[in-house]
Amino acid sequence: MKKKSFMTPVLLMIFGLIAIVSFGLQLTGDKNETAETPEATEQPETEQPSSGEIAHNPPSLDDVPDGPLGEAILRGYELTNNTSEVLRAEAASVEDGERVVNGLSCTSCHAGAGMDENSSSMVGVSSVYPMYIPRSGKIVTLEDRINGCMIRSMNGEKFPEGSEDLKAMVAYLTYISEGIPSEMNADLPWRHLNNMDNPPTPNVDDGEALYQKSCIACHAGDGSGTGSNTGPALWGDDSFNDGAGIARMTKMAGYIQRNMPVGAENTLTDQEASDIAAYILSQDRPEWANHDKDWPGMESPSDIMTKERRDQVKDGTIDWDEVLGNN
Ligand code: HEC
Ligand code: HEC
């Protein structure tokens, strides 16, 4: 008994830290080599079926351990679930708060604080990172990836190095990743689901009509939303900037189809999801300053809805075939 309760999640977290540190030292080395009892990582408390398919089965927050680690996990949960409320309330001034983070929470896109299987679930992220990200052109740590969403999806600022809040978020994400083996990192079936490979050519006017019919109850007619976890801002100052992943047509259309409207998910056709995505992504939103530095050494995806593209929608010159890579 004693051994088991000690083994998880304290040990898993220690292994995570060791893995991250050792990764920097020996990129190709076996992560377990540095651990004293490698078999501990092979017997996670969370049950995994023997079929080979990894189960999405995050532990309950009721089982968070007492003590400093448990406090960090719960703080990380709060920061994930109520990001802007917490960070803005704790900022020195209103202006500071608005600079640090927009009006969204991580839950606005990673529903259930990252524990909803269909909504870009974050279960397992502490097992799959560090990993190579083409947009960054390098191997990024989980800390880097969280900060990536902070400066793009949250249109805010990075957590500073060594930040207790960043450590708390990692502790939380490590906790909900309990039992996900890192050796099978490529096979988590719930990753990268919110994507539509070939969206049909959209009609923005049809998208607007559909939006007004099916979305305004929660997201408001002007897209400013009703709250980060009831209907987050879809455009405008409080929303994501155009360097965010969801500012791409393929990701927005896929996300909308699989997750919206809440209560009637998976009811929109490809055409409808593409129309609404085009309408949302043609509205004004904060601009990402570093588009030219993304995707180093390769061509950027064509479906990023930048300011230039939004202007083309407004003046009627947009070439959707080019945006959607149909040329
Ligand atoms: C506006 C939407 C949005 C918000 C808000 C958002 N994210 Fe994300 N996040 C995404 C998208 C889209 C992806 C890419 C998912 C994919 O590749 O399928 C992503 C990916 C991630 C990943 C990598 C997941 C993986 O499997 O590789 C992490 C970690 C992450 N986000 C953390 C956060 C955190 C922490 C916050 C809050 C501080 C946050 N995100 C807020 C949209 C968002
Ligand atoms: C019943 C309320 C409700 C309705 C109706 C609804 N949404 Fe949402 N929407 C939410 C909630 C709540 C979230 C936060 C994530 C979650 O809980 O799934 C969200 C998140 C989103 C996001 C990601 C977050 C962001 O800020 O970009 C998009 C995009 C989105 N909704 C688009 C739509 C579209 C398009 C429609 C209409 C087809 C729609 N929603 C209808 C409640 C709703």
Centroid of ligand 2 to alpha carbon of 36 (angstroms): 46
Residue 100 inside a domain? The answer is yes
Output helix, strand, coil percentages for the chain, rounded to the nearest 5.
50, 5, 50
Q: Do 144 and 212 lie in a common domain?
A: no
Q: At 245, is the secondary structure helix, strand, or coil?
A: helix
- 254, 159: one domain: no
Judgement on whether residues 178 and 208 belong to the same structural domain of the protein: no
Q: Is the CB of 239 under 6 A from ligand 1?
A: no
* Residue 1 within a domain: no
Ligand closest in space to the Cα of 228: 2
Rounded alpha-carbon distances, angstroms, from residue 223 to 33, 83, 279: 51, 19, 11
Domain range holding 252? 204-323
Confidence band (pLDDT; 50, 70, 90) for 29? very low
Q: Is residue 294 included in any domain, yes or no?
A: yes
Residues 122 and 171 in one domain: yes
146 close to ligand 1 (CB < 6 Angstrom): yes
Does a structural domain hold residue 193?
no
Query: Residue 10: which pLDDT band, with cuts at 50, 70 and 90?
Result: low
Q: Ligand 2 center to residue 225 CA distance, Å?
A: 9
Residues 227, 141 share a domain: no
Residue 57 within any structural domain of the chain? no
Amino acid identity, position 104: L
Q: Can you tell me the mean pLDDT for 144-156?
A: 98
Distance between CA 287 and CA 250 in Å, rounded? 19
Residue 304 covered by a domain:
yes
28 with 155, same domain: the answer is yes
Predicted pLDDT of residue 186: 59
Query: Could you report the per-residue pLDDT of 278-306, keeping only the tens digit for each?
Result: 999 999 999 999 999 999 999 999 999 99
Q: Is 83 in the pocket of ligand 1 (CB under 6 A)?
A: yes
The alpha-helical segments, DSSP class H, found in the chain are 2-6, 12-25, 68-81, 83-90, 94-100, 111-114, 125-128, 142-151, 164-176, 204-214, 216-219, 249-259, 270-281, 307-314, 320-323
- Residue 140's beta-bridge partner residues? 131
* The last residue of a domain, from among 182, 217, 235: 182
* Residue in 257, 221, 219 with CA at minimum distance from that of residue 239: 219
Do 10 and 126 share a structural domain? Answer: yes
Report the atom number in ligand 1 closest to the C-alpha of 191.
26
Q: How many domains does the chain have?
A: 2
Q: Is the Cβ–Cβ distance between 165 and 89 less than 8 Å?
A: no
31 belongs to a structural domain: yes
Collapsing DSSP to helix, strand or coil, 208 comes out as helix
Residue 126 near ligand 2, beta carbon < 6 Å: no
Which pLDDT value is given to residue 44? 42
Cβ-based neighbour number of residue 185 at 10 Å:
16
Say if residues 111 and 119 touch (Cβ distance below 8 Å). yes
One domain for residues 18 and 159: yes
Q: What is the largest CA-CA distance in the chain?
A: 68
Q: Which atom of ligand 2 is nearest to the CA of 230?
A: 12
Whether residue 36 contacts residue 56, with contact meaning beta carbons closer than 8 Å, is answered with no
DSSP H or E segment with residue 138:
strand 138-140
* Residue 22 confidence (pLDDT) above 90: no
Mutate to test the pocket of ligand 1, among 120, 147, 172, 239 (most ligand atoms within 8 A of CB): 120
CA of 277 to the centre of ligand 2 (A): 12
The domain boundary, picked from 152, 182, 212, lies at 182
Cβ-proximal residues to 147 (8 Å cutoff; 6+ apart), any chain: 158, 159, 166
CATH of the domain at 94: 1.10.760.10
Do 270 and 125 belong together in one domain? no
Does 189 reside within a domain?
A: no
Q: Is 281 in the pocket of ligand 2 (CB under 6 A)?
A: no
Q: Please indicate, yes or no, whether residues 172 and 27 belong to a single structural domain of this protein.
A: yes
pLDDT at 46 over 90: no
Instruction: Tell me: do 11 and 145 sit in the same domain.
Output: yes
> Which residue among 117, 153, 180, 257 is best mutated to probe the pocket of ligand 1, counting the most ligand atoms within 8 A of its Cβ?
153
CA of 197 relative to ligand 1 center, distance in Å: 19
Q: Measured from the CB, is residue 111 less than 6 Å from ligand 2?
A: yes
Average pLDDT value for the chain: 88
- Do 220 and 74 reside in the same domain of the chain? no
* Pocket of ligand 2 contains residue 234 by CB under 6 Å: yes
